[in-house]
Amino acid sequence: MALKFKYNKTSLYELSKQLTVREKALPTLKSKEAALRLEIKKLKDKAVEYEVKLAQRLQEVKNLTRLWVEFEEGLVKIKVASYRSRVIAGVKIPILDAIEFELMEISQYHKPDWFLDGIRILEDLARLRLLYEVSARATQILEYARKKTTQKVNLYEKVQIPEYQEAIRRIKRFLEDEENLAKASQKILKKRNQEKAVV
């Protein structure tokens, strides 16, 4: 959409004010975009790290498949997963704070010895899975914010600032032309008045 303006000093003042706002905001937006890019890279690396650890752990446990048949379903549940938020460049992202597991009561005398190890393995797998999901979600949130920030930077840098500069230039040129015409007409009028006075 083209910028609408009037050829007067009020419009010139308003456009200058808007241009100043955008020129001052642009460096801040660029630094926000850079900070978001850096944080996204860190979070992606962390998510990949959790994913690799999870895959390794699942591979380690794979050879115990015959034993898992004996393992009771619902023995270990996540009771509470608490989150906190962290603000990065004005964007809130979730961070896993703590995980509490709820264990069903079991008799150690009636169950195989490996059940306690199995419980620890399940807790470990659940923790890694949750850490991966939280990192992936935080990455999505930051990616969306970075995309919006990049759009705003491009809008300011490539569209609005040049439009405002062009509009200001056109208004100034118009006002200068108007002033020059007024001076020229004053000179002509003064010259005519002097000629009349001589006659």
pLDDT of residue 162: 94
Contacts of 49 (CB under 8 A, 6+ apart): none
Residue 197 lies in a domain: no
The β-bridge relationship of strands 76-88 and 91-103 is antiparallel
pLDDT higher than 70, residue 193 = yes
Ranges 26-30, 112-116, 168-172: which has the least confidence: 112-116
Q: Is 110 helix (H, G, I), strand (E, B) or coil?
A: coil
Q: What is the share, in percent, of the chain residues with pLDDT greater than 90?
A: 53
Rounded mean pLDDT, 129-157: 94
For the chain, give the mean pLDDT. 87
CATH number, domain containing residue 60: 1.10.287.3240
Q: Domain range spanning residue 115?
A: 9-190
Residue 195 lies in a domain: no
pLDDT of residue 143: 96
CB-CB neighbours of 50 under 10 Å: 20
Residue 152 lies in a domain: yes
Token duo for residue 48:
């990949």
Residue 128 lies in a domain: yes
Ranges 32-36, 62-66, 78-82, 135-139: which has the least confidence: 62-66
The total number of structural domains that make up the chain: 1
Cβ atoms of residues 113 and 147 within 8 Å: no
Q: What is the share, in percent, of the chain residues with pLDDT greater than 70?
A: 90
Residue 21 lies in a domain: yes
28-72 pLDDT, tens digit per residue, is 999 999 999 999 999 999 999 999 999 998 888 887 766 666 667
pLDDT band at 111 (very low <50, low <70, confident <90, very high): low
pTM of the model: 0.77
Most confident segment among 6-15, 74-83, 111-120: 6-15
